[in-house]
Each structure stands twice: as C-alpha cells, then as structure tokens.
Chain A
Amino acid sequence: MEREAIRSKLTEIFRDVFEKAELEIGEATTAADIPAWDSLAHIHLIVAVERGFGIRFSSREMQSWDHVGEMMDCIAEKLSQKA
C-alpha cells in the first residue's frame, strides 16, 4: 500500500475514533495536536488501526510512536511483511 493510501485510510480511522469528521492528520501530527488523544483513546486507536489494516502491533511497537509518521512507518512495515 502506498504511503498516501495509508495516510488516507488512517485519517478515516482517526476521524471515526475521535468522532470528528473534519479531522486532518499528517506525518508530524502528535497527541498534542488532538485534545481528545489521551491514553484511553490511544488504546481504542490502536485496536481500530489493527482492525482497519488487518495487522497486530506488539507491546514495544505500541509504546514507540511519537507522531503519526512513526505509526505509518510501523503500519507500512507490517503490511510489507504480510505481502
């Protein structure tokens, strides 16, 4: 999956989890940019991303993202392993 396609799909997932239809995310987006993105929302976001992309994250991976770009890196790597 192309990086832009990952970002586009991830945007839909973020909009769904945070219930904000206009939400836009970019590679540099962090939790500081989205008020509702706290530790509880993060757990629901992880599960939604896993289900949306058909992948599973490890405990270490879940702790390692500082911004959306790093999450996208991880998703891309998982998808390439599946292919």
Chain B
Amino acid sequence: MHLLDAVIGKIAELDPLHGKKLRASAMMGEPSYLADAQDFLEQYQVVLKGRGLTLDHAVSCYLQMIADVRYESVQFIRSGEYSSKSFEEVQQRVYQSPGVMEYYMHGLLLSQFLWAHHYDTLCFFRKALHSVRQEISGYLEVGGGHGWYLREATRILRPHTDFEMIDISPHSLEMAERMIGEASVRYTLADVFSVKDEGLRDFICLGEVLEHMEDPAALLNKLSGLLKPHGYLFITTPTNAPAIDHIHLFRNCGEIRDLLNQCGYRVLTESCASSEDMSPEEADRRQITVMYAALLKINSE
C-alpha cells in the first residue's frame, strides 16, 4: 500500500472533515507528486524509526496541529486578528515548550507534503535553488524549524558547500539534525540578530519566519547586512494564516511585496500558492491563506 494512502486514511479515520479536504486535493492525482510523497514518507519513516516511532506518531502530531489551526481560524474570523501579539508570549507558549514543539514540528513537516500550497512552495524552492546553485558556496537557514528545506538544500547544492542553521529552539535544531542525517551542517542555537559576521552569505533561506516577528522589517534589514552584495535571500511567508505562533498579519501578497521593496530587496522570481482551490487574488479577498515565496536580491540601484 502507498504510504500516502495509509497516512491520509489514518487522518480521515480520526478527523473525517480534514480527511475529506486532503482527498479532494487535485495533486492527489499527479504521478510526480505521488512519487515524491512516497519518497518523503519512506525517508521520514526511517527517521521516526530511529526514535522508536512510526508514522502514526506523525499523524497524531499533525492532527494536534490541525486542531490548533482550526481554533485559531475561528478566533481569526471572530476578531480579524491573530491571537498572539508578542514574541515573548509565543516564546513561552510554543518555542520553549518541548511538548508543543514536538507535535508542531512533526505536524508542519507532514504538511509540506499534504497541503498543496506547502508542496507547491517546496517545489518552487527546489527550482529557485537549482537556478543559482553554481553561485552558492555558503548556505544559511534562519529559523529552519523541522529542517526539511535544509535537507533539500544539502542535496541540491554542490559538494563542499558550507551549511549552517540558526534557530532559537533547541527542539528544532535537534529535529533538523535527525532529519538531515550525515550532511555536514553547523547547528547554531542563537537569535539571528546576535550574528555579527556581516556580508559573507551567498544564500539565506528564511522559510515561514516573517509572520513570527513583531517587526519583520527589522529582520529583513538584518539579513541584508549578512548577505554578500550579490547574495540571494529566499523567503516564504503566508497571508491570513492563523496559527498559535503567528504574530504579524500580512493581509495580502501586495503587503509582502511592499515590505520587501521598502527593505531594499528586488524580487527575481515569486510564487503565490493558495491554500484552497481558488486564485490568490480571490483568497486574499476572502482572507484565506496564500503562501508567498520569492527569490530576492539586494537592490543595488
């Protein structure tokens, strides 16, 4: 039996409403997606087995995250705002809570292959990274979470590339190390604002981090200082995406583009993937999540 069928079957058994949504996704009929998802689940299963766990653990974590998202989504419709207001609040509620981080990181990892807008964004990341791989000898991942993007980067970029991941959560760093396996990566427990070595990075990946910030512009400005003058920044960040640890609300993709422009970045290529079967413009209008992703350079004009 295909592992994806088993995972979605288990989800549908425990949460029929969510199972219904997953089964209706158009990508479930695409052979290339199915092969990719099978490959991911086989690799993920090995990592879980190393901890004495199975994919049932991942499904259980995923459904805890879905329950959180469901509640936060109701709160969002009630109030028009995200429920978390400060970094300190989220730090206590999520990042410093090993139990929450355990289910949240595994839930998010599974979502990379179960949610069409997450999977589309992952594919866009692979393509963007391939397009510049010959120019990259140093890769930094800021807020790498479960580590899957970094794992992909270690397989796409050239041998002897210098890899580093910086995260404020020890749990994330441990999980990423397990996910990435033998590839040579420096794992740094730190706040990126404390990093001093400026102007040295070829490529920085900032996947789903800006929405966790009180002041996303401050982070974008910090990263432009860490990049080489001709370096690349890759970002992903969602609009209208209530979650237990999201603080900054982008109401549409235009707001994100404006912020990038204000912080001195130029968009080389971008992607907007809606979480529902509708255009990004329609999703913005209905306050439904769109995942924005872009490959950027510092604007030298």
Contacts and interface: CB of A to CB of B under 8 A. Distances in A.
B88 to A, nearest CB: 22
Interface in A46-79: 46-47, 50, 57, 59, 62-63, 66
Contact of B77 (A31, A44, A59): A44
Interface residues of B, number: 18
Nearest to A30: B16
Contacts of A39: 17-18, 20-21, 66, 70
Contacts of B20: 31-32, 37-39
A43 interface: yes
B66 to A, nearest CB: 8
Nearest to B242: A43
B276 A40 contact: yes
B74 A40 contact: no
B73 interface: yes
Contacts of B17: 31, 37-39, 42
A62 B74 contact: yes
A46 B16 contact: no
B78 interface: yes
A40 B21 contact: yes
Question: How would you classify the secondary structure of chain B's contact residues: helix, strand, loop or mixed?
Answer: helix
Interface in A1-40: 30-32, 37-40
Nearest to B68: A59
A43 B18 CA distance: 11
Question: How would you classify the secondary structure of chain A's contact residues: helix, strand, loop or mixed?
Answer: helix
Interface in B65-123: 66-68, 70-71, 73-74, 77-78
Contacts of A32: 16, 20
A63 B16 contact: no
Contact of A43 (B16, B24, B68, B74): B74
B21 A43 contact: no
B38 to A, nearest CB: 24
B288 interface: yes
Contacts of B288: 40
12 contacts: A30-B16, A37-B17, A38-B17, A39-B20, A40-B276, A43-B74, A44-B77, A46-B74, A47-B77, A59-B67, A62-B71, A62-B74
Given A37-B20, A39-B66, 10 more contacts: A31-B17, A31-B20, A32-B16, A40-B288, A43-B74, A57-B74, A59-B67, A59-B70, A63-B15, A66-B16
